[in-house]
């Protein structure tokens, strides 16, 4: 993942929408709880939303909700599965376990651009992952948005995959 300093740097209206929504739901707290998130309020984002539950002892990430567009791009619905059970062969540059571990430590959103590998190309997509906490102190869930749609300008960034020698 190429990290973004600010979510606005990613040029994604849906990510800005989720960032604003998450910040509004903080209501002066470090992070909102899962109970603060109402799917009806963000229904235009739902197909590209991923929610996780964080287990702490031992540390594991379980996907509780995977939006239909995210499941389609992955090639399968991984709702109910643990991150450490999955192989995302299409991800060429993102260490998801490290990202979730950092979020749990830092209690702050993480956003950036990742690469999705197809047989012919590496396609950039933008993602933001936001922590949630039921006790206001410990990250126990997350909500993320994967901006999977490319604009015409972004199509110029698609990198051809070179066959192995």
* Predicted confidence (pLDDT) per residue in 16-73, tens digit: 999 999 999 999 999 999 999 999 999 999 999 999 999 999 999 999 999 998 888 8
In a domain, 165, yes or no: no
pTM comes to: 0.87
Instruction: Report the candidate in 50, 49, 73, 47 with the shortest Cα–Cα distance to residue 62.
Output: 50
SS3 call for 124: strand
**pLDDT band per the 50, 70, 90 thresholds, residue 153:** very low
The pLDDT of residue 164 is above 50:
no
Which tokens hold the place of 164? 């192995």
Distances (CA, A) of 96 to 38, 83, 110, 121, 138: 25, 8, 11, 21, 19
In a domain, 144, yes or no: yes
Longest Cα separation, the chain: 55
User: Residues 122-135: pLDDT tens digits?
Assistant: 778 899 999 999 99
In a domain, 148, yes or no: yes
- Domain span at residue 112 reads 2-160
In a domain, 8, yes or no: yes
Residue 20 CA to residue 14 CA, distance in Å, equals 10
Give the pLDDT confidence score for residue 87 in this predicted structure: 79
The pLDDT of residue 150 is above 60:
no
Average pLDDT over residues 156-164: 46
CATH of the domain at 34: 3.30.450.20
Decide if 126 contacts 116 (C-beta within 8 A).
no
């Amino acid at each position: 993942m190429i990290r973004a300093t600010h979510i606005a740097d990613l040029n994604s209206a849906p990510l800005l929408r989720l960032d604003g929504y998450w910040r509004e739901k903080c209501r002066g707290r470090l992070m909102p709880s899962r109970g603060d998130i109402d799917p009806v309020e963000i229904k235009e984002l739902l197909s590209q939303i991923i929610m996780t539950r964080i287990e702490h002892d031992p540390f594991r990430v379980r996907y509780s909700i995977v939006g239909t567009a995210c499941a389609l791009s992955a090639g399968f619905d991984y709702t109910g599965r643990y991150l450490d059970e999955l192989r995302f062969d299409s991800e060429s540059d993102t260490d998801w376990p490290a990202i979730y571990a950092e979020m749990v430590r830092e209690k702050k959103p993480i956003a950036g651009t990742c690469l999705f590998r197809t047989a012919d190309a590496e396609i950039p997509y933008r993602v933001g992952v936001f922590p949630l906490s039921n006790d206001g102190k410990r990250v126990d869930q997350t909500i993320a948005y994967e901006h999977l749609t490319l604009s015409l300008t972004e199509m110029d960034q698609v990198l051809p995959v070179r066959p192995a020698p």
